[in-house]
């Protein structure tokens, strides 16, 4: 009975072998290729079912694909399984599509080194930015001097938007050199974010932020006021020759008992060069006392007369008219007129103020008239033909 079952089993096996197109050797047991599966677990018998083609399994060491015996471990068109084609840049190695260089990986249709490729850094599709390189699968700045600003590698030595450090902008017209913002023209300086000519700019004259007064202009980097006596002080053009709060220069204040004369703070009561008023000079070595030039003798008065320490003009001084101490006090003297005329005090004669020293109608006194042939000389009628020594 056992022998009968064995014969029946062999007959069934032989029939199956004929159905799939393999030559079956009854002594070899089961056909090798009839039950071999691909890497994905699916049988590849259907791939060898081409009409009119057949593989001789006994002489095919690999796989039978479309009636052709192939090495599925190395065939790029049938790598591992029938019909699996490797990309042009890959090889079939041990039944798997792989790049020729083991260190490379396939990205789309190209073998790349994910450790160094700037278009595929670390993984496919990760692209490094400008001035970046791929190192060990990470995008890093290509230059050691570069810094990452807002996720981008920049050269802070030359980048005008990040000059010296991230975010330090040199403005639209500025340049960045050695990490310092500057301007292309030597005469220009960077003020804020704009290159300015400091030699001519009224808002930035000589230095950034130094604005000239409205009535001044910037020349050669200096604010110039309309007149040579003026200087810009606290935003205004000030006459520094006379301003007591800015005497000679801005901010130079005179004391309460001083006056600013020609840019110098002086005391008008004691300064011999400015005695009593600016520019009134006490000549002849005289001292200035209480605002008046004091003298010791006539030699210090330059032609005037020294009276009680004061140099006076005896011809016109009402306090010393004609002589020291001779005070004019007639009704002809008032605040609006000088009643000392040629060293003589005017007198009222018949409602008129006359000089009785020289008036021919009142010579020497009111009503004392000289004759037609006489002249009045120092209060005396003399011949008109004689020379008046006191004239």
pLDDT at 56: 57
Q: Is the pLDDT of residue 364 over 60?
A: yes
Average pLDDT score over the chain: 81
* Radius of gyration of the CA atoms of the chain, in A: 62
Residue 260 lies in a domain: no
Tens-digit pLDDT profile for residues 56-74: 555 677 788 888 888 888 8
At residue 391 the predicted structure's pLDDT band, cuts being 50, 70 and 90, is low
Mean pLDDT of 72-86: 89
Q: Is the pLDDT of residue 31 over 70?
A: no
Q: Is the pLDDT of residue 18 over 50?
A: no
pLDDT at 33: 36
**C-alpha to C-alpha distances, 242 to 215, 245, 262, 290, nearest whole angstrom:** 19, 9, 6, 21
Q: How far is CA 327 from the centre of its chain?
A: 73
For the ranges 148-157, 222-231, 232-241, 330-339, the lowest mean pLDDT is seen at: 330-339
Tens-digit pLDDT profile for residues 255-281: 999 999 999 999 999 999 999 999 998
Residue 109 lies in a domain: no
Tens-digit pLDDT profile for residues 316-346: 898 999 999 999 888 888 766 788 888 888 9
Residue 379 lies in a domain: yes
Residue 272 lies in a domain: no
Residues of the chain with pLDDT > 70, as a percent, come to 84
Residue with more model confidence, 173 or 251: 251
Q: Is the pLDDT of residue 15 over 90?
A: no
Tens-digit pLDDT profile for residues 146-173: 888 988 899 999 898 899 999 998 887 7
Nearest to 158 by CA among 132, 139, 131: 131
Q: How far apart are CA 162 and CA 112, in angstroms?
A: 34
pLDDT at 59: 66
Residue 13 lies in a domain: no
Residue 15 lies in a domain: no
Residues of the chain with pLDDT > 90, as a percent, come to 37
pLDDT at 145: 80
Instruction: Name the CA dihedral angle for 208, 212, 213, 219, rounded to a multiple of 10 degrees.
Output: -170
What does the DSSP 8-state code read for residue 1?
Answer: -
Residue 59 lies in a domain: no
**Is the entire prediction scored with pTM above 0.85?**
no
Report phi then psi at 105, rounded to 5: -130, 155
Q: Is the pLDDT of residue 30 over 70?
A: no
pLDDT at 16: 35
Q: Is the pLDDT of residue 51 over 80?
A: no
Alpha helices (H) in the chain, listed in sequence order: 2-20
pLDDT at 335: 65
pLDDT at 88: 83
**Token pair recorded at residue 14:** 């032989």
Structural domains counted in the chain: 1
pLDDT at 249: 94
At residue 246 the predicted structure's pLDDT band, cuts being 50, 70 and 90, is very high
Domain of residue 337, residue span: 313-391
**Token pair recorded at residue 140:** 């890093």
Angle at 235 between CA 234 and CA 236, to 5 degrees: 95
Tens-digit pLDDT profile for residues 106-117: 898 889 999 999
Mean pLDDT of 279-291: 86
Residue with more model confidence, 245 or 142: 245
Residue 353 lies in a domain: yes
């Amino acid at each position: 009975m056992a022998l009968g079952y064995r014969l029946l089993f062999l007959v069934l096996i032989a029939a199956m072998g004929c159905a799939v197109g393999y030559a079956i050797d009854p002594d070899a047991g089961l056909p090798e290729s009839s039950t071999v599966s691909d890497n994905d677990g699916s049988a590849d018998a259907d791939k060898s079912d081409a009409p009119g083609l057949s593989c001789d399994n006994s002489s095919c060491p690999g796989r039978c694909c479309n009636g052709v015996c192939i090495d599925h471990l190395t065939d790029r068109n049938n790598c591992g399984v029938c019909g699996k084609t490797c990309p042009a840049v890959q090889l079939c190695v041990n039944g798997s599509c792989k790049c020729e260089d083991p260190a490379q990986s396939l990205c789309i249709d190209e073998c790349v080194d994910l450790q160094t490729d700037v278009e595929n850094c670390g993984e496919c599709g990760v692209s490094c930015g400008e001035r970046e390189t791929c190192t060990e699968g990470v995008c890093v700045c290509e230059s050691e001097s570069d810094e990452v600003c807002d996720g981008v590698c920049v050269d802070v030595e030359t980048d005008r938007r990040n000059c010296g450090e991230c975010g330090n902008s040199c403005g639209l017209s500025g340049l960045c050199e050695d990490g310092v913002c500057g301007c292309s023209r030597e005469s220009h300086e960077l003020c804020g974010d704009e290159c300015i000519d400091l030699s001519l700019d009224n808002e930035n004259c000589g230095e950034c932020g130094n604005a000239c007064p409205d009535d001044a202009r910037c020349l050669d980097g200096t604010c110039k006021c309309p007149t040579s006596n003026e200087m810009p002080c606290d935003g205004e053009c000030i006459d520094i020759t006379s301003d007591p709060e800015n005497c000679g220069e801005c901010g130079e204040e005179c004391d309460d008992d001083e006056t600013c004369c020609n840019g110098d703070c002086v005391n008008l009561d004691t300064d011999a060069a400015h005695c009593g008023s600016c520019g009134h000079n006490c000549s002849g070595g005289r001292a200035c006392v209480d605002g008046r030039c004091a003298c010791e003798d006539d030699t210090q008065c330059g032609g005037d007369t020294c009276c009680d320490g004061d140099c006076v003009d005896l011809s016109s001084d009402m306090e010393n008219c004609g002589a020291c101490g001779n005070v004019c006090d007639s009704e002809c003297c008032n605040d609006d007129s000088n009643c000392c005329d040629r060293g003589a005090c005017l007198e009222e004669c018949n409602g008129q103020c006359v000089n009785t020293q020289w008036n021919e109608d009142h010579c020497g006194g009111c009503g004392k008239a000289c004759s037609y042939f006489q002249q009045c000389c120092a209060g005396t009628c003399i011949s008109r033909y004689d020379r008046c020594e006191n004239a």
